[in-house]
Amino acid sequence: MAETGETPASRPGLTIDARDGHSAPKWEDEGVMAGTAGDEAAPLVGRAQELNLLTALLDEVATRGQALVLRGEPGIGKSRLLSATARTARERGISVLTTTGVQSEAHLPFAGLHQLLRPVRARVAELPVAQRAALDAAFGLTHEVAPEHYRIAMAALDLVSEVAADAPLLVVVEDAQWLDRPTSEVLAFVARRIESDPIIMLAAARDGYPSVLGDAGLPEHRLAGLDDATAGALLDAAAPELPLAARTRVLREAAGNPLALLELPAVAGGPEDGQWVPGGLPLTERLERAFAARVSELPDETRLVTA
């Protein structure tokens, strides 16, 4: 899995063919597999407990399929942990399939499932005719009315089971809070039925978003901020020249959030520094983007305060 930036623009998504007014996702489009977010500029620090937890799932994959939802605020390190786990998986010969929820595709039925299964589309031929038809219809390849979600979910489950019969499989679901609802339903269905398959499903979801996959009763792990010592180490590696007062401030304001630790030094002590008020960060563009969705969902009065 290539590691790419988190902006939707840099993520190869569905190809929507606008030429003939046909807006169904194309099953056959080419393009690279999407990756999880997280530039790897700074070495991974801390998170030993989480890495152990995730690696333990991989250790057991041959005997037991499991799903886990990783929760936490934006920038807390969900994607980074998923990409580290995906790398370990590949090193062990585990196949990795990935899909990423994107706000702009949240209303496109099965956009997320299409992205997930695209690399294994050839395997659809091995499915029984009815299941193949269900997936083709879901992805707009036939003029058949999309079959009920149950058939699509069954077909998706059978397809990943087929794939996992060759080599164990890690399914990575990024930004699950923005997946289209039918995809979430299918993935929740699959997640509850992989126990006897060599399949691990890891989903990252932001705190505070209701999502079908997040609320499917799957085991969860909530990511807290980095502890003080680890936060200090990350900050010092990223911004070794930061004056002491600014360092103290960044550590306090970031509260262990790695994205904030990496981004705030750029504004601490700079021309915008005067805007620092308790609880109010001068956000960098990247932080603003990371938190933008939350801000736009806040009630108007709150937004005025944060503007």
What is the number of other CB atoms lying within 10 angstroms of the CB of residue 271? Answer: 8
**Residue 284: how many other CB atoms lie within 10 Å:** 18
Total residues binding ligand ADP (CB under 6 A): 21
Kindly state the smallest distance separating residue 238's Cβ from ligand ADP, in Å: 8
Q: Binder to ligand ADP among 14, 45, 212, 231 (CB under 6 A)? A: 45
Contact 72, 255 (CB under 8 A): no
- As a whole number of angstroms, the distance between CA 172 and CA 96 comes to 7
Binding mask 187-226 for ligand ADP (x = CB under 6 A): -----------------x----------------------
- Interface of this chain with ligand ADP, residues 61 to 100, rule: CB under 6 A: 72, 74-80
Rounded to a whole number of angstroms, the minimum distance from the CB of residue 75 to Mg ion is 8
CB of 37 to ligand ADP, least distance (A): 5
H helices of the chain, where?
A: 48-59, 78-91, 111-117, 129-138, 149-166, 181-191, 228-238, 244-254, 258-263, 285-297, 300-306
Interface segment toward ligand ADP; rule CB under 6 A; list 113-121, 257-265, 271-279, 297-305: 257-265
CB nearer ligand ADP, residue 76 or residue 111: 76
Residue closest to 80 by CA, chosen among 18, 132, 16, 6: 6
Q: What is the contact surface with Mg ion in residues (CB under 5 A)?
A: 37, 78-79
37 is a site residue for ligand ADP (CB under 6 A) = yes
Strands 220-222 and 199-206: unpaired
Q: What does the DSSP 8-state code read for residue 185?
A: H
> Using CB distances below 5 to 8 A depending on partner kind, what does residue 16 bind out of ligand ADP, Mg ion, none?
none
